[in-house]
Structure 1
Amino acid sequence: MPASTLRTLFLPLLLALSLAGLRDAPAQDGFQQMVREVEVRHLGPLQAGDDDYVLTRTTARAGRYVSQSDLSRDQRALLDTGLFADVRVLLEPVDDGIRVVYEVRRRPRFQAPAAIQGNQALSTARIRDLLKLAAGDLVDEALLADRGDGIRAAYRERGYPDASVHAELLPLADGLASVTLRIDEGPRRRVEGFVFTGNRAVDTATLRAAVGQPARLNPLGIFYRTWRRRAEDLEAVRDAVRQVYLDRGHLDARVDAEPRQEDDRRLVAVAIDEGPVYRIDAIEIGGVTRFALDDLDQTVAAVLRPGDIAAGNAMRQATRLLRDHYGREGYVDTVVRVQTPVVEAAGPPRVKLRFDIREGVLAHVRSIAIRGNTRTRDKVIRREIGLVPGAVLDEVQAERSRQRLENLGYFERVRFDEIPDRSNPALRDVVYEVAEKNTGQFMIGAGFSSVDKIIGFAEVSQSNFDLFNWPYFHGGGQKLRASMEVGSESRNVEVSLTEPWFLDRRLSLSGEAYRRELSYDQYDVTRLGGGPGLTVPLRYGRVNFRYAIEKVSLDDLQAGDYVYLDDPSRTYRFTDENDDYLNAPFRVTWMYDTRNRAFVPTRGTRGSVFAEINGPLTGGDNELVKVGTDFRHWFPLWAGHVLSLHARAESVEAYGDTETVPIGDRLFLGGGRTVRGFRYRDIGTKVLPAEGTEGRYQPVGGLTMAMASVEYTIPLFKMLRLAAFYDVGGVWSESFDADFDRLASSAGFGIRFDFPGFPIRIDYAVPVAYDDDYTRSERFVLWIGFE
């Protein structure tokens, strides 16, 4: 056959095969094709669908070019709507281009209730709760498989490790579907515990804690069931135990876990071959071209040095520090790998620690995008992000910004991603994707304290409030709180609003209004007032300016003539106190806070120093000046033990035409939040009934106060701690004058229930020394609230 004839037949055949290869094939990366047609195909039982809904969420348009990256983003955008169980993008050849076909499989909506078959150990209602489906929810096989895992986990907690769940989704008319769960529970074989063998360097209690089993003496251990579910995952048990050994330098440790039956008890037997403890012979860092090697050596030396134990957690920390060193300077995608070759030498086992670094590219921020915020304003999120377009992409700052967004409490989760530009990988689009959650709270309850006895309280709060977003009033990042508390000795109503970014700067502007009523044995006091405050960040700490104006009213003042205990020549009457006046204090406070967390901290410092003036210049009736300081430091010790030190001092003085400090502004000590072991406000200056009158002593407060406390806490398990403490303090009658020979002190122990939203402190304190012969003790103390 002539060659020309062969060419004539071969070329059309080659073209046909090429087009066939293009059919139903995705576009290739870096290659753009001309779109001639766009089509939407609906697959599955739900054939009817809205094409416009799909097309408005995709980028392919007739007459435009499209790339694989564009189509991948289209596929992700459609899946993110939650309406589709499956999305495929197909390319079909047409004249001079391609047809883009979006094949979508819509998810049906659940028709309640779900049919449950084969269940005995778990009730039908309980299984439906675990299924987490309400009428009208979108549902598909993947969702049912995920919910089935949760139901199996519940069975494992009940001791049914072999339970299986089969879900059937049956399409119905009108886009609905019914769900049937067929359950095979299997025999009950609950794990009762672990048996560890071969462990010499690590005690059994530490290994039990690593796999989540509560201590045997834990009184609430019966309420902890999740460890039984984890015990069924033998691979996870092996990994958890081995990690304990790796973190202690046993790099060759081998762990095996197998189920064991002993009589009627099902156990998990964990056999351990510990191996030797390795130490570091030398540390090398390779692959470095961007920085001075000495700088990276110092970075690693912060956690690891030659001669140290080759601990796995320290190596992970060193790896993170090296990666952060690059990421802080904008070198993204840097990879750090650790190798630990054994050094063949006499003596204790040693390894050479080598960090191999694959340096990334120097990247800059092209743009910052926010996704998923349906209620929170963009600017509320952006102001927490420490990156700006055009700047170097500081990955450490980017992660710190993500953590700040999480700490706002507005979102269930915050995800950070960086997307490289297709033509220039050194340019990155930074994307923060958030999932919003309910930020409003309503709490109501009752409690008990050593002072108020029975307390009832109610609180409404919105941590993502927006005063100017009518009628929804959320999304602006402001904080609104309204509370009411009623006790046998107090009645309080408070409303406060805080704008943490006043004038779009890191200035926190707040305002509050309140009515507070307190009943003492000697008088009742009512304070009605409010005022603004402004907090300004400093390089070290913050400074707060606060102004308040309040009307102070005293009622039911105790009658009678008294003399001072420390100076019987001076007389006193409660009825001589001014019972109706205005206070208008202006206070400046410097605050410092490095605690690792706001509630139940384990390390860091919280402190403040303040000065306050009150008088006609500020709008008040009394001329007073007050200064004070309050500092507390937490020291982490071992196994969660924490030592805390607390010191506080204040003094108040009258000036100008004001001769005496009103009783409402004097200082008192004694009780659960100051010096425990003594009656509330009983430490300090007292008066006695004058000669020839009846009655008992009465505390009248002093003008100078100082106290200190040391407390040691031991965690028993989550939300329960034991405490031992020593308190000391005194109150004196003169301004800026203290007599440290007259101090009251106590020692004792207590228990802390760290329940979220309702923490309880119970203490028993024994007085060690009294400041005078009249101060009375009160050994049991109960308070609701964190320290």
Structure 2
Amino acid sequence: MPFVVGSTPAFAQDYEGKVISEVRINGLERVSEQLVRSQLEVQAGQSYSQLAISRDIRRLYDTTFFNSIKGDVTASGDGVIVTYIVDEKRVISEIKIIGNDKIKSRTIRAATTWKEGDTFVEEGYEEERDAVLKLYQSKGMPNAAVDIVVEEVGPSRVRITYMITEGKKAKISSLSFEGNERLSDRKLKKGMETKRRWWFLGGKYDESKFESDLSKVIDKYGDVGRMEAEITGTEMTYSENGKSVDISVSVVEGPEYTVATVEPGSNEVYDDDEIMDITKTKPGEVHNKSQVTADAEIIEKGYTSSGYINATVEPQVTLDKENKTTHVVQQISEGDLKYVKEITVTGNETTRDDVVRREIFLNPGERFDGSLLEASHRRLESTEYYDAIRFSTQDIPEDPRHSNLLVDVEEGKTSYFNFGAGYNTEEGVGGYTELRFNNFDIANWPSFQGGGQQLRLRVALGQRRDEYSLSFSDPEIFGYPLLFGFDIFDESYDYDNGGTDYSQETQGARIRFGKVLSPYNTARASLGYANVNYSDLRYGRFSPYYEYIGGDSTISTVWGFNRTTVDSNRDPSTGARHDFQIEWAFGGDNEFWKFDHDSTWFFSFDEEKKWVFSVRSRQGIGGAMGGSEHIPLASRYFAGGSTTIRGYDARDVGPKEPEILGLFGDDVSVGGELRLLNSLELKYKASKFFRTYLFMDSGGVWLEPGDFDPGDMKYSIGVGLGFDIPMMGPIRLDYGFPLNPDDDQGSGKLHLQGGFRF
């Protein structure tokens, strides 16, 4: 520490031995005079000593309160007056940070050395400024500017304000790796959220995402046996204008490890062979970190599905660095077999308890089953009543065989008034208004909420289609586990595109029943009445449609079975959907039967489930009964368009007849009694709101089942884009290329489905 003593008169030695009449202290502002005097050796009444003053100055410097101290002595009568002249250090009383939006204030404070309560050192100005600029540069913002303002706010007290202009973040121009041989740059980048810009899109640098991406890189090396891989450094090189940055990541891959042994640990309920049979990691293979973790999850799921709800499995991996092998132990804590004591529901301020409970596949007294809890969670989510659903268990100390199941929900918005507009290549432009209650209770006046019923009133008016409808559903009618619902509808459709040309008006009603058979299976039945009128048949009785119109009214019953094992109803990645339906029209003016099948399988190829391949197969067959000659036009099968075979016009695939007496004029589609449809689709989930698609469709329609000929099948391929925009709804855009079109079916077709909610 520098030691500076103020000069005293050259003749100070002439005062040696004289009596000190007074000791004065000048320059104090913040430091108390009492504190200073407590450090002084020199006192009034003593004999003057130059050495004593020097010692006092040293002690005052040791307090760290002063920048400089001088000792002065002046004659006063027969004695002398000693004066200590001090210059106090300034203290930082407050630090303010202004203009920072992208970096939190506490992060900036941690990067600087000035702290509130510390001594203000003016020489540290540039060092503090550079520290903040370096912080911003490390966050991808090299264009930031920092000004530091120092204000006097009191005696020897200052306020420091960092005034920051953050500027725009630099876009990532390139991302590369150094030192990697086992895994290419492309493989290391796959799955990273940090990406270089593409034209004017993307390329933003986010430090938290980048740190997470570096962890993913280490995990990828763990999947190929490089258990000692590490990131040794990252380097960011900015362009001269600071608008772009090149990122280079240095890695050391390390040696490859293979699995020497795999075994479970601490298991008693199941023996070693039973556990190892359901795992995939085997001795002699290259160590795969992700697979070892997945094995632990499979084992744990097996335990929880068997009632051991507190079971945990932790993979313990030991490295043999000499032999470059790993020893894997799936360490199991089994816990006790548990049964359900009580089910407690919380958070449901509006929804009745029984509405929540009926979606849970466990009952008091039954053994806990983790798979049933997962299915119950999916069921509760599918109601769309709740923003969040949490399951937990509560042990009962006095009853170790039982635990309580706690279900906590956060209720969301369930009543909607929507209106909007949309466009569909089959239906044209249209608008609609809809009042929908998803958690309706017809008996709960005046709120009419919380009963788990659904009520919908809808009016839609469009270029080709108009609809007026009222629907009601109660999943448990009168407390019985049986769905009841009804629909009343009035619809009209102008078929003036593709292969058809007429208008159809349908009025009717139906009652519906449904039963949940298991977590994945449901059955349904309905009884309906429909009255159909046709108009705008260009040639009236001479139109080929006239033969297939049938009578006006139809009374029919429908029986169906559905099995669903998908991981998400809204956007599935794995699992399957199967639906079987039989319709029997036995009353009114028409008698016929129909059988329909629709199955879709979903397969995911990566951990993030961004790539999803689906296979869909649909078949429909029917025939007339009793006094009817054909299935009526309104119930016949058609194909072509956005929902069947893309690349072809709506209803333009299948049997056709000339529009005048079946002998002259343009060919028009008359539908059939047999339809086969198949689709293959590859989906890439580019983001939460954006999807891309590749697809192949095939199918055909035959006038009667006996006319089936595989050579009549039509095929198409195409690409698609999907958008799921909040508050607007899903939009799907496909372009299909027909592979074997007829001469009048063109070379391609754009299909658009979507709309906007307001």
TM-score normalised to the size of structure 2? 0.71
Task: Determine the C-alpha separation between the residues in 2 that align with 1:420 and 1:272.
Answer: 47
Instruction: Specify whether residues 218 and 518 from structure 1 end up closer, same or farther in structure 2 by C-alpha distance, changes over 3 A only.
Output: farther
2:262 paired with 1:280 = no
Measured after TM superposition, the shift of residue 220 of structure 1 is 4.7
Instruction: Specify whether residues 429 and 645 from structure 1 end up closer, same or farther in structure 2 by C-alpha distance, changes over 3 A only.
Output: closer
Write the deviation string for residues 363-415 of structure 1: whole angstroms up to 9, x where unpaired. 44433222221111111222233443344444554455445434432222223
SS in 1 for 2:752: strand
Task: Determine the C-alpha separation between the residues in 2 that align with 1:421 and 1:538.
Answer: 32
Measured after TM superposition, the shift of residue 781 of structure 1 is 2.1
Task: Determine the C-alpha separation between the residues in 1 that align with 2:270 and 2:695.
Answer: 50
The 8 Å contact of residues 558 and 575 in structure 1, kept in 2 or not, is answered as no
How do 1:713-724 and structure 2 match up within 5 A? 713-724=683-694
SS in 2 for 1:289: coil
How do 1:120-139 and structure 2 match up within 5 A? none
Map of 2:30 onto structure 1: none
The 8 Å contact of residues 257 and 268 in structure 1, kept in 2 or not, is answered as no
Measured after TM superposition, the shift of residue 624 of structure 1 is 1.6
2:500 paired with 1:525 = no
Instruction: Specify whether residues 249 and 466 from structure 1 end up closer, same or farther in structure 2 by C-alpha distance, changes over 3 A only.
Output: farther
The 8 Å contact of residues 314 and 331 in structure 2, kept in 1 or not, is answered as yes
Higher relative contact order (CA 8 A, sep 6+): 2
Between the aligned residues of both structures, percent identity stands at 26
Measured after TM superposition, the shift of residue 266 of structure 1 is 5.3
Measured after TM superposition, the shift of residue 527 of structure 1 is 0.8
Task: Determine the C-alpha separation between the residues in 1 that align with 2:188 and 2:707.
Answer: 56
Map of 1:78 onto structure 2: none
Map of 2:28 onto structure 1: none
Instruction: Specify whether residues 665 and 414 from structure 1 end up closer, same or farther in structure 2 by C-alpha distance, changes over 3 A only.
Output: closer
Map of 1:35 onto structure 2: none
Aligned length: 602
SS in 2 for 1:548: strand
Task: Determine the C-alpha separation between the residues in 1 that align with 2:545 and 2:510.
Answer: 29
Map of 1:311 onto structure 2: 288
Instruction: Specify whether residues 356 and 733 from structure 1 end up closer, same or farther in structure 2 by C-alpha distance, changes over 3 A only.
Output: closer
Measured after TM superposition, the shift of residue 192 of structure 1 is 3.5
Map of 2:206 onto structure 1: 228
Map of 1:559 onto structure 2: 539
How do 1:431-580 and structure 2 match up within 5 A? 431-502=406-477, 504=479, 506-521=481-496, 522-538=501-517, 541-559=521-539, 572-574=543-545
Measured after TM superposition, the shift of residue 202 of structure 1 is 3.5
Task: Determine the C-alpha separation between the residues in 1 that align with 2:336 and 2:745.
Answer: 71
Measured after TM superposition, the shift of residue 491 of structure 1 is 0.9
Write the deviation string for residues 345-376 of structure 1: whole angstroms up to 9, x where unpaired. 75xx3211112233424444433222221111
SS in 1 for 2:277: helix
2:716 paired with 1:746 = yes
The 8 Å contact of residues 746 and 768 in structure 1, kept in 2 or not, is answered as yes
Which of 230, 236, 241 does residue 260 from structure 1 map onto?
236
Write the deviation string for residues 172-193 of structure 1: whole angstroms up to 9, x where unpaired. xxxxxxxxxx996464473533
SS in 2 for 1:309: coil
Measured after TM superposition, the shift of residue 503 of structure 1 is 5.1
Corresponding letter in the other structure for 2:556 = P
Write the deviation string for residues 690-732 of structure 1: whole angstroms up to 9, x where unpaired. 5999853322222322232333334444433333333232222
Map of 1:590 onto structure 2: 561
Write the deviation string for residues 130-152 of structure 1: whole angstroms up to 9, x where unpaired. xxxxxxxxxxxxxxxxxxxxxx9
Corresponding letter in the other structure for 2:231 = V
Map of 1:629 onto structure 2: 597
Task: Determine the C-alpha separation between the residues in 2 that align with 1:457 and 1:306.
Answer: 62
Larger radius of gyration: 2
Task: Determine the C-alpha separation between the residues in 2 that align with 1:707 and 1:219.
Answer: 41
SS in 1 for 2:276: helix
Tell which deviates more after alignment, 600-609 or 500-509: 500-509
Corresponding letter in the other structure for 2:230 = R
Task: Determine the C-alpha separation between the residues in 2 that align with 1:460 and 1:723.
Answer: 33
Task: Determine the C-alpha separation between the residues in 2 that align with 1:683 and 1:492.
Answer: 26
Corresponding letter in the other structure for 2:509 = G
The 8 Å contact of residues 703 and 736 in structure 1, kept in 2 or not, is answered as no
How do 1:90-239 and structure 2 match up within 5 A? 185=164, 187-188=166-167, 190=169, 192-193=171-172, 194-208=175-189, 210-214=191-195, 216-217=197-198, 220-221=201-202, 228=206, 230-231=208-209, 234=211, 236-239=212-215
Corresponding letter in the other structure for 1:202 = L
Corresponding letter in the other structure for 1:559 = Y
Map of 1:366 onto structure 2: 341
The 8 Å contact of residues 205 and 215 in structure 1, kept in 2 or not, is answered as no
Task: Determine the C-alpha separation between the residues in 2 that align with 1:442 and 1:512.
Answer: 19
SS in 2 for 1:310: coil
The 8 Å contact of residues 190 and 266 in structure 1, kept in 2 or not, is answered as no
SS in 2 for 1:381: helix
The 8 Å contact of residues 550 and 631 in structure 2, kept in 1 or not, is answered as no
Task: Determine the C-alpha separation between the residues in 2 that align with 1:438 and 1:510.
Answer: 22
Measured after TM superposition, the shift of residue 648 of structure 1 is 2.2
Tell which deviates more after alignment, 264-273 or 681-690: 264-273
SS in 1 for 2:303: helix
Map of 2:675 onto structure 1: 705
Measured after TM superposition, the shift of residue 780 of structure 1 is 2.1
Task: Determine the C-alpha separation between the residues in 1 that align with 2:617 and 2:694.
Answer: 17
Corresponding letter in the other structure for 2:454 = K
Map of 1:81 onto structure 2: none
Corresponding letter in the other structure for 2:288 = A
Corresponding letter in the other structure for 1:553 = N
Corresponding letter in the other structure for 1:525 = Q
Task: Determine the C-alpha separation between the residues in 2 that align with 1:268 and 1:634.
Answer: 37
TM-score normalised to the size of structure 1? 0.68
Instruction: Specify whether residues 340 and 161 from structure 1 end up closer, same or farther in structure 2 by C-alpha distance, changes over 3 A only.
Output: farther
Measured after TM superposition, the shift of residue 161 of structure 1 is 9.3
Instruction: Specify whether residues 504 and 560 from structure 1 end up closer, same or farther in structure 2 by C-alpha distance, changes over 3 A only.
Output: closer
Tell which deviates more after alignment, 602-611 or 257-266: 257-266
Map of 1:650 onto structure 2: 620
Task: Determine the C-alpha separation between the residues in 2 that align with 1:403 and 1:690.
Answer: 54
Measured after TM superposition, the shift of residue 518 of structure 1 is 0.2
Measured after TM superposition, the shift of residue 286 of structure 1 is 2.0
Instruction: Specify whether residues 443 and 775 from structure 1 end up closer, same or farther in structure 2 by C-alpha distance, changes over 3 A only.
Output: same
Task: Determine the C-alpha separation between the residues in 1 that align with 2:262 and 2:449.
Answer: 54
The 8 Å contact of residues 140 and 170 in structure 2, kept in 1 or not, is answered as no
Corresponding letter in the other structure for 1:604 = G
Query: 5+ residue gaps in structure 2?
Result: 1-95, 106-134, 147-160
